[in-house]
Amino acid sequence: MTRPRMGLPDLGFGVGLRSVHFDYILSRQPQVDWFEIISENFMDSGGWPRHVLERIAERYPLVMHGVSLSIGSTDPLDFAYLGKLKQLAQVIGARWISDHLCWTGVQGQNTHDLLPLPLNDETLRHVVGRVRVVQDFLEQPLVLENPSSYLTFRSDTLNEWEFITALAEEADCGLLLDVNNVYVSSVNHGFDAFEYIESVPPERVVQIHLAGHTDCGTHIVDTHDGQVTDDVWELYRLAYSRTAGVSTLLEWDSKIPSFPDLHAEVLKARNHLTEGARTPTESSDRRGAPLPTPLQESFAGAHPPHLILTEHS
Amino acid sequence: MSTGEQDEREMELSRIQRMMQVVVTRPAGDLIGVSRGAERGGRAASIEMLEEVVSPSSTLSGLERLAIYHRSYHARLLECFQAMFPALLQALGEDLFNRFALDYLQAHPPRSYTLSQLADAFPEHLAGTRPDADAALADRESWPDFIINLAALELAFMQVYDGPGVEGRQLPSGRHILALPLGTLLDARPALVPCLRLFAFRYPVSAYLSAARRGERPALPMPKDNFAVVTRRDYRVVIYEVSRSEYALLHNLDGRRTMGQALRRSEPTCDCALTAETGRGWLCDWADKGLLESL
């Protein structure tokens, strides 16, 4: 029988480490339970970002979250990349390594997007085989996140929750349940988000992601650019209650607020869990509501880019 | 399922991924080109064929859903480019800057797992696609040099910021060099720090970049030779302007040549008398600025 969280620790309430907050974190050493990093931003770094990371690793638990593993690609796995991933995990003592159930490119290209997979038995076999290879190489369980998606394939034969459940069990890997992504995809594809959450094996859920999204009228985009909406908090409460306590992480990648505001947003999760309080947000129940005016064609960007360029002051 | 059937289904996944990548990475804003892009992917495809692969939603057709990824791909990478080259963006304006960046992305689609390598060949691409690329050097317009020079400097800034450095290491000091007997100095083999980049530009882009990074809106400069050193100290990127003669000597300090050899090799391109004591003075200055890794 699988132990809760695959035997991995409940780290509490953390936030994504972003370069705009480096100076604040180093100088103030805020009381944050843990940080999640974007693995690719630090794998080759020899400058200020890597220096900051190693200093933060001395004080805070860290988890590595990747965006380029491309576990669903039909290109061969990149073992040079995996080697760097493993090395970084050892240096900073990462509690686990996660990435996304997606593919990012083929024929040697990387679109830097989390592209969707056809959800059928053939894809499942393909991904299960690759997860096993990656786990053998990393010598630890891989934790995979359900991505938000904007299309489905006619060759789909499984629901996403059926797919990730079968994947987790057959490959013996962990799950990073992004409840915002569940919500985004449920609106885009017209499925029941609550059924999704209730169907995922709770003992496989190692971590939960929270984030904000943008309603474009005809679809919702996972923009990570605002507060968590009430709909997502509701899903979070359900997801959390099904686990034996699980690490919770807020992602915020565009229009990033000050660190105290960012931290305060994830700490709302405590209120939602302990008091069942409903924190007012800008969003109301999306289902059945009239569609708002679509955004301009300007970027309502899915998965904002993760690129460190901020120089320290 | 037989092995043959399984191979066939895996080929189907591969086919879908290749088709989707071709569509997603088509030139920005070319929705009609989505179908043409699929054709160029090696398999004739029409909008109807794409719709056979991608399901519609209650609000969007399959093609419209694909177009979300198409727009997102370009918007994401443009956002990265604009963050990487803020001064060039300011100089060109957003429309022209985006045209250059999108043209580069069509010629050099990203292949690295990290976005930090996204623009590694951007200056070379700009140089190779300048409107007068085929003209003799003497017949070329000078303004493209400004764009190419500025792109090269901003790229170097980013690479030096996040690349290997010498923080925490003991470096030679000016005082130590000043105390060296002349013979010892001329036999020394100075090496520059690994984070140092040396440039000879046709436009004064180092001053332009410095002003832009201070939040100013500098006027586009007139052509003027500009020799610049980009390096890092205590994790901060620093740009120094140097003279033509200093550039020549720095160029010859590779850790293998002696100081005496470097002085002799530099002399023909110098615009001043290059004595050993002049070289010593520069070396002291460079050491105090953290440009020397070893002697």
Residue B48, pLDDT score: 74
More confident residue, A307 or A204: A204
Rg (C-alpha) for chain B, rounded Å, is 26
Residue A293, pLDDT score: 31
Contact B188, B259 (CB under 8 A): yes
- Which residues, in sequence order, are CB contacts of A143 under 8 Å at separation 6+? A6, A96, A97, A98, A99, A173, A174, A175, A176, A206, A207
For A98, the token pair is 């996660």
B35: closest CA of chain A, how far (Å): 17
Mean pLDDT score across all residues of chain B: 91
pTM to 2 decimal places: 0.89
Q: Give the chain A residue nearest B115 (alpha carbons).
A: A307
Buried b (16+ CB within 10 A) or exposed e, A260-291: eebbebbbbbeebbeeeeeeebebeebeeeee
What region, left, alpha or beta, does residue B215 occupy, with left being phi > 0 and alpha being psi -120 to 50 degrees?
left
Q: Which of B136, B115, B255 lies closest to B193 in space, CA to CA?
A: B255
Test B54 with A68 for CB contact under 8 angstroms: no
Mean pLDDT score across all residues of chain A: 89
- Give the confidence band of A310 by pLDDT, cuts at 50, 70, 90: very low
Residue B47, pLDDT score: 72
Residue B139, pLDDT score: 85
**pLDDT tens for each residue of B200-236:** 999 999 999 999 999 999 999 999 999 999 999 999 9
Instruction: Please report residues of B whose CB lies closer than 8 A to that of A155.
Output: 12, 16, 53
A14: closest CA of chain B, how far (Å): 24
Q: Which of A181, A13, A143 lies closest to A66 in space, CA to CA?
A: A143
> Does position A312 have pLDDT exceeding 70, yes or no?
no
Q: B191 phi and psi, to 5 degrees?
A: -125, 145
- Give the confidence band of A162 by pLDDT, cuts at 50, 70, 90: very high
Considering only the beta carbons, identify the residue of B18, B72, B83 that sits closest to A301. B72
> Does position A277 have pLDDT exceeding 80, yes or no?
no
**Chain A contact for B73 (CB, 8 A cutoff):** yes
Contact B167, B234 (CB under 8 A): yes
Q: Give the chain A residue nearest B238 (alpha carbons).
A: A311
Q: Give the chain B residue nearest A223 (alpha carbons).
A: B72
Q: For A204, which DSSP code?
A: G
Residue A301, pLDDT score: 54
Q: Give the chain A residue nearest B49 (alpha carbons).
A: A154
Test B13 with A74 for CB contact under 8 angstroms: yes
A135: Cα separation from own chain's centroid: 19
Instruction: Please report residues of B whose CB lies closer than 8 A to that of A156.
Output: 55
Q: What is the mean pLDDT of residues B257-276?
A: 91
| Alpha carbon separation from B37 to B42, B46, B65 (Å, rounded) | 9, 10, 16
Test A44 with B55 for CB contact under 8 angstroms: no
User: How many degrees, rounded to 5, is the angle at CA B122 between CA B120 and CA B127?
Assistant: 135
B81, containing H or E segment = helix B62-84
> Does position B76 have pLDDT exceeding 80, yes or no?
yes
Q: B271: buried, middle or exposed (CB in 10 Å: 19+, 13-18, 0-12)?
A: exposed
**In angstroms, rounded to a whole number, what is the distance separating the alpha carbons of residues A95 and A118?**
31
Instruction: Please report residues of A whose CB lies closer than 8 A to that of B238.
Output: none
Considering only the beta carbons, identify the residue of A43, A107, A305 that sits closest to B79. A305
**In angstroms, rounded to a whole number, what is the distance separating the alpha carbons of residues A174 and A203?**
9
Instruction: Please report residues of A whose CB lies closer than 8 A to that of B159.
Output: none
Test B84 with A122 for CB contact under 8 angstroms: no
Instruction: Please report residues of A whose CB lies closer than 8 A to that of B231.
Output: none
Cβ atoms < 10 Å from Cβ of B154: 24
Q: Please give the span between the terminal C-alpha atoms of chain B, in angstroms, as a whole number.
A: 68
**ipTM associated with this complex:** 0.89
Q: Which of A186, A230, A182 lies closest to A209 in space, CA to CA?
A: A182
> Does position B239 have pLDDT exceeding 90, yes or no?
yes
Instruction: Please report residues of B whose CB lies closer than 8 A to that of A18.
Output: none
